[in-house]
Structure 1
């Protein structure tokens, strides 16, 4: 393969040398004929005409034969190796030298230096002419020049002029060297020319292919920034014929109708300035008007310079990026706006808040951030499904957006949480007044898919820069205020106050301690008696958890139970309560039951039923002695799963009690679906009835009547005085629970109650 490549290179070299000879046959013929005639006329003055005529005839015949012979050769054909043609030219040069050599040998007939010099002059002209015509074939030149020079030198020596003979030899040598050197330079030049031509063709081909296959196009301007060499693709992109665009200012072609008004976008001014300063630019996005329609182009270009460094204009490439820009804008919008509601998202709101804070600090004004959280929204999602919840959120966003005025912006932070940024707010009262209006607007009923829905809203707000000089600080403080408003029960506006940090820190410490409380054995169960209303007979206890921490002391359940639910710790704590209470109840008389409060978070765990079964089996407690107490929130937090789990517990023989009946939402549907054994009347109604409040008395009577009709018992909570106990008995409640019969007590005190009769009997004996 290497030999083949070498042969190809040699063939190319021969063709480069032979190519200049093509078309010069007539010149060689007339040169040969003319020199032969001059030589013959010179010889005829000294030699017999027969000799001179014979040589002239031979010279003319050889010239004609050589012309015809070489004319038939395919000189410079790239598809041939050129070896035959090369040898043919060399042979003809040698034959021509042999023809001219006798002109010096014949000088013996007429000795004399002047005649030899005349023939040498003619031969020298012949050699020079051949060197000029056949300079690209140095071998042929050498085959002619060397013999002729040697013959001339020999004739000059014989004529008695050795110095001139030396001159003849040197002249022949220099001519041969000139031909070789000239041929080398010629070949190099042609090689470079061919390479440049190939590169030019390659570049042209690539450019044509680039314009034909790509969405980009080439453009070029002169030194006056006018378009030149307008390509068809550029003309198509500009929507005008190429000849109409030729010579037009680039800025005029790009600006369209705005060229007359002179109102150019900033990016076009930037383009003009860079071209004016002759600076290269890359990926410059400029607006373009094509037929009155706006488009976006991406341009890159560099200045063109000639060999002397003279500025010629710009050459570059461009492409239409309108679709890509639209996609990028859509992506940017998606990154800054909420897909569901169309409101600004957290990122966008943070930017608005940052600008509001900056302005407030510089102008010594105020701004505000309102954090909004919907109340009872999870119940909508759980009962009617997420599609309905999404439609509700869209209506909430529309109401919120309709309330926005100048200097206000609202957005969705995520889930059912929204926020409002207020610029230049006059005072905290103005922010609070807007918050109340927002709660009123969002609390109006909604109609979604033929469902009438009610949700409320809780709002917490912070004032900037007083409550926070940075976006992060102000957002954190407004969030603390929102948490405070939720903690108050919802539909409340809460401002940020410094004490909220202490509460948040207390909550953090409490959660940290709560996570290790089980392992440290810090929990203890207390038991409060439940008696029969008719005769005060003890029929069971309600298990109540207590927590004593080394750092925090005694922590009430009202503080740590909600925290346990939020931090997902209620499941292990609830399981400990269940197992401990069941084991403790086995130490009581067999007619007493134990009631355990179960959180809504526990009932969302599908393994809760198996935990109850395990606790009963491990302790040996009969299912009939276990009563599970739940609140109405259980059914609002879960879309049917809690009811199914409670049905499983009922199937095991476990008793169910509905706590805090009537204090929350309408519970009649739950009573119809789930067979509760007991309904517990909240202590607020008990206290109200004892004071003669007709509403409380009516509610208790209604609950008792409802329970009796459904075959359920009623337990009145919070009885603390004899009057309250008598009122409960009069109204017909089945059971009573409260301080009047006993406060919550530890397990040892409960066991002491059962040992008291035995101790008294022993003392009497």
Structure 2
């Protein structure tokens, strides 16, 4: 919008504020602002000047006639004093000046479309001033003629002059210039003639005419400004609508009172897949309902739209499913009722847009957010929502629901040995088997990794959860055929029942997790239901973990050494370093408790390094023929810096590499066989020995023995006990292991020998070394040194 009174430097005002400034001045603002608007004391806005002078041009002929007409009665009362010829000459000058003014003002007809020059304005004011002086001359020259009683003629003249001034008021400066000269001359003439009442009347007349001219000028200006602003607003709206139609993805739509589309825009017609003329006048609902219009099978969103139109209610951002050309589309519509000038309802108008692509994208995002992409099962978010709904329903109807957490046994071995691609295909098969087990009120999903879950929304039978859990274990434990690999994995299940075990989703899931942890802790392949003491066990484990994190800095860890002797001579050959924890808070904690915690939290890495360095330091004080064995976890072996740690421990202690033996279990090869073997090769290159602990209790793959050069194979205590009881299986296994080790140049150590019967049987079977309580319990470093000294003294004696 244009601004009529814009000033340089003003900030924070809208264009509408600038446009309305002259109007506020015209309503009574005093001072320089008002004078500026009327053309005094400041520069007028060009648009305002154009409006004034264009209006002046349109009434130029009227002023010409009034101006000349006013001179006719004036001649009658100046003729006697001035004479016919002088009065006639004056009339001729009036006519010529009026004609000149007419011609000048008609030249302003295009003033609204151009900028009027200052020279043109000054010329017009000067001409009007000259006209005023033309009238002032006879009044001042013949004052007696005005007071001689020619009242009727004077009244007519004054009336016409007043009309002339009021017609000139569209340009306030011109009107005030003329009335000022005319009024001063008339008042002066009356005073010179000694007519006091006439003087007062003349002065009052001039002031009234001037005030009337100012009022008309202000009224005119307000009217024209309002018209101009409305016109420009309409133009702006038209431009915006055009721009909207041309550049926006939305469209404008409108229907009449009968809900028939009217004024169809090209973009709306394109959305309807029709020409504008074809769509105009047709019912809106019929156009967008497709085949459903005839059958009456309308979607709920379309029925909602029809109801809103029927009730004549405004609506905003309504999602409507429409049918265009046999295809389903989604529109977002907003509409407002419209009324005619009499307040009668005349239809709806609004804005619409096709949001099909956006909706499909949103649905896809929702799918990604709520479903697992690998298995297609509900993910953790959707399972949580399902469990929340089940809990709420159970509370409301006093029933029960259940949450079962499922963890695959031995899945990590599959992933690590055969790769993630095979693992992913295995998970997909697991998900298909779980789906088959689900009932009408059950929901299964994947929590992540190899963890799955089941929400049982209706559990009325106390045994239903246990039946479901064992069905899951049985089905998932059957063999899988994946890319020509026959795979076996089991499942462990933990369950919690709501609202008995918990009344919130988070607590119920946590309790099921505690039950699952118990199942895994018991070896897997089983189902455990939540029991309150599990929470106490978990809390104890949490406290143990917290205390274990500070055990090293508090110097609470220590090493115990158990002797390993020669099977024939019973001479001490080495000691196995065993970790012990004497906690200030919990007292002596069993390794069976804190070692698994250390491995789960990877605290085993710094603790294991400490144990390695301490054992090397202690062993360096023993006789040079005595070795020390240190257990190494899978977490340590897979640490990239472990070989460097071994080198550092040997260097700082001065222990010869061949006196250090590292004991590992088969589990390291299940994590990352390549990395473990590489680390073992580096350690063996140093000259250290490698012992394979607990052989026979795990996978016991002969491939481990083929690919790695072990110095010792340790036979688990369970086989030693079985051999002492003449168990054929135990005897056969020990004989096979001994024979294999003899062939491969390895030594064998029988663990857990506690009786003479066990010792005799182990000697018969050919084991080379023995470890067990029969020859010594784990002891401190000082006791181990004392034992070695006594053995040495006994041998010397």
Aligned to 1:20: 55
Whole-Å separation in 1 of the counterparts to 2:429 and 2:786: 61
Query: How do residues 37-76 of structure 1 correspond to structure 2 at under 5 angstroms?
Result: 64=99, 67-68=102-103, 70-71=105-106, 76=111
Q: Does 1:324 align with 2:358?
A: yes
String of CA shifts for 1:514-560, please: whole Å, max 9, x gaps. 33444444444333333333444443333333344455444332222
User: Aligned in 2, Cα 1:123/1:488: closer, same or farther, shift over 3 Å?
Assistant: same
Aligned to 1:566: 600
Q: Tell me if the contact between 2:58 and 2:109 (Cα under 8 Å) persists in the aligned partners.
A: no
CA drift of 1:328 comes to 3.3
Query: How do residues 23-34 of structure 1 correspond to structure 2 at under 5 angstroms?
Result: 23-31=58-66
Aligned to 2:539: 505
CA drift of 1:242 comes to 4.8
Whole-Å separation in 1 of the counterparts to 2:689 and 2:148: 151
Q: Tell me if the contact between 2:63 and 2:168 (Cα under 8 Å) persists in the aligned partners.
A: no
Q: Which moved further from structure 2: 445-454 or 598-607?
A: 445-454
Whole-Å separation in 2 of the counterparts to 1:631 and 1:82: 104
CA drift of 1:482 comes to 0.7
Residue of structure 2 aligned with 1:355, choices 362, 367, 389: 389
Q: Tell me if the contact between 2:245 and 2:267 (Cα under 8 Å) persists in the aligned partners.
A: yes
Whole-Å separation in 2 of the counterparts to 1:287 and 1:252: 13
User: Aligned in 2, Cα 1:234/1:95: closer, same or farther, shift over 3 Å?
Assistant: same
Q: Does 1:175 align with 2:189?
A: no
Whole-Å separation in 2 of the counterparts to 1:496 and 1:459: 11
Q: Which moved further from structure 2: 721-730 or 484-493?
A: 721-730
Query: How do residues 548-587 of structure 1 correspond to structure 2 at under 5 angstroms?
Result: 548-549=582-583, 551-587=585-621
Residue of structure 1 aligned with 2:116, choices 72, 78, 81: 81
CA drift of 1:478 comes to 1.0
Aligned to 1:185: 219
Q: Tell me if the contact between 1:113 and 1:159 (Cα under 8 Å) persists in the aligned partners.
A: no
String of CA shifts for 1:301-335, please: whole Å, max 9, x gaps. 66778999998876654444443333333333333
Residue of structure 1 aligned with 2:409, choices 375, 378, 386: 375
Equivalent position SS for 1:486 = helix
Per the normalisation by structure 1, the TM-score is 0.85
Aligned to 2:530: 496
Aligned to 1:269: 304
Query: How do residues 181-260 of structure 1 correspond to structure 2 at under 5 angstroms?
Result: 181-219=215-253, 231-242=265-276
Aligned to 1:650: 684
Q: Which moved further from structure 2: 204-213 or 64-73?
A: 64-73
Q: Tell me if the contact between 2:301 and 2:321 (Cα under 8 Å) persists in the aligned partners.
A: no
CA drift of 1:483 comes to 0.7
Aligned to 1:621: 655
Whole-Å separation in 2 of the counterparts to 1:489 and 1:135: 107
Whole-Å separation in 1 of the counterparts to 2:774 and 2:568: 15
CA drift of 1:673 comes to 0.7
Q: Which moved further from structure 2: 156-165 or 77-86?
A: 156-165
Aligned to 1:404: 438
Aligned to 2:3: none
Q: Which moved further from structure 2: 614-623 or 705-714?
A: 614-623
Query: How do residues 340-351 of structure 1 correspond to structure 2 at under 5 angstroms?
Result: 340-351=374-385
User: Aligned in 2, Cα 1:725/1:202: closer, same or farther, shift over 3 Å?
Assistant: same
Residue of structure 1 aligned with 2:502, choices 468, 474, 479: 468
Structure 1 spans left out of the alignment, 5+ residues: none
Aligned to 2:373: 339
Equivalent position SS for 1:649 = helix
CA drift of 1:743 comes to 3.7
Equivalent position SS for 2:218 = helix
Whole-Å separation in 2 of the counterparts to 1:95 and 1:432: 116
Whole-Å separation in 1 of the counterparts to 2:457 and 2:146: 123
Aligned to 2:426: 392
Q: Tell me if the contact between 2:371 and 2:377 (Cα under 8 Å) persists in the aligned partners.
A: yes
Residue of structure 2 aligned with 1:131, choices 165, 171, 175: 165
Whole-Å separation in 1 of the counterparts to 2:729 and 2:401: 46
CA drift of 1:745 comes to 3.9
CA drift of 1:76 comes to 2.4
Whole-Å separation in 2 of the counterparts to 1:687 and 1:425: 47
CA drift of 1:159 comes to 9.7
Aligned to 2:32: none
String of CA shifts for 1:364-403, please: whole Å, max 9, x gaps. 3222211111222222333344444334333333332343
User: Aligned in 2, Cα 1:544/1:74: closer, same or farther, shift over 3 Å?
Assistant: closer
Q: Does 1:660 align with 2:711?
A: no
Whole-Å separation in 2 of the counterparts to 1:757 and 1:291: 100
Per the normalisation by structure 2, the TM-score is 0.82
Paired residues in the alignment total 761
User: Aligned in 2, Cα 1:617/1:108: closer, same or farther, shift over 3 Å?
Assistant: closer
String of CA shifts for 1:379-433, please: whole Å, max 9, x gaps. 2333344444334333333332343232111112122211111121343433222
Aligned to 1:637: 671
Aligned to 2:20: none
Equivalent position SS for 1:413 = strand
Whole-Å separation in 2 of the counterparts to 1:346 and 1:36: 101
Whole-Å separation in 1 of the counterparts to 2:145 and 2:510: 126
Query: How do residues 718-729 of structure 1 correspond to structure 2 at under 5 angstroms?
Result: 718-729=752-763
User: Aligned in 2, Cα 1:629/1:182: closer, same or farther, shift over 3 Å?
Assistant: same
CA drift of 1:444 comes to 3.3
Structure 2 spans left out of the alignment, 5+ residues: 1-5, 10-35
User: Aligned in 2, Cα 1:682/1:117: closer, same or farther, shift over 3 Å?
Assistant: same
CA drift of 1:668 comes to 0.8
Residue of structure 2 aligned with 1:437, choices 455, 471, 475: 471
Aligned to 1:364: 398
Whole-Å separation in 1 of the counterparts to 2:548 and 2:88: 135
User: Aligned in 2, Cα 1:29/1:710: closer, same or farther, shift over 3 Å?
Assistant: same
CA drift of 1:341 comes to 2.7
CA drift of 1:507 comes to 2.1
Whole-Å separation in 1 of the counterparts to 2:363 and 2:82: 102
